[in-house]
Amino acid sequence: PSPLGPTPKLVIDLERLAQLPKDKAGPLARYAATIQSQRGDYNGKVLSIRQEDLRSLAVIYDKSPAELTEELINWGVLDPEARRAVESF
């Protein structure tokens, strides 16, 4: 196992996401809302997403997964720990 522990989960801060301007956050907000709907998970302050979902979101945002991760960290939507989750990509 890695000395830093297991790969961290990608955890979206939904309250922070809701504060961001729609032109930036719109696609991610719609994606997260779809996952919440599929899971029936409406009450969370955070939403754990799949690694695969970050790949799909990177395509939507026309960035690499690493670039999108940096952007989401800058927005305060992802924890800086999330960097380690995309190293395996």
Minimum CB distance to ligand C2E, residue 67 (Å): 19
- Write each residue from 13 to 42 as x if it is in contact with ligand C2E (CB under 6 A), else as -, in one continuous string: ----------------------x--xx-x-
Closest C-alpha to 49, from 74, 23, 68: 68
| CB under 8 A, 24+ apart: contacts of 1-4 | 4/84
Minimum CB distance to ligand C2E, residue 15 (Å): 12
| 30 or 39: CB nearest ligand C2E | 39
Q: Is 82 in the site for ligand C2E (CB under 6 A)?
A: no
User: Which helix (H) or strand (E) covers residue 33, if one does?
Assistant: helix 22-39
In the DSSP assignment, the letter for residue 4 is: T
Does residue 84 contact residue 66 with C-beta atoms inside 8 Å?
Answer: no
Residue ranges binding ligand C2E (CB under 6 A): 9, 11, 35, 38-39, 41, 43-44, 46-51, 53
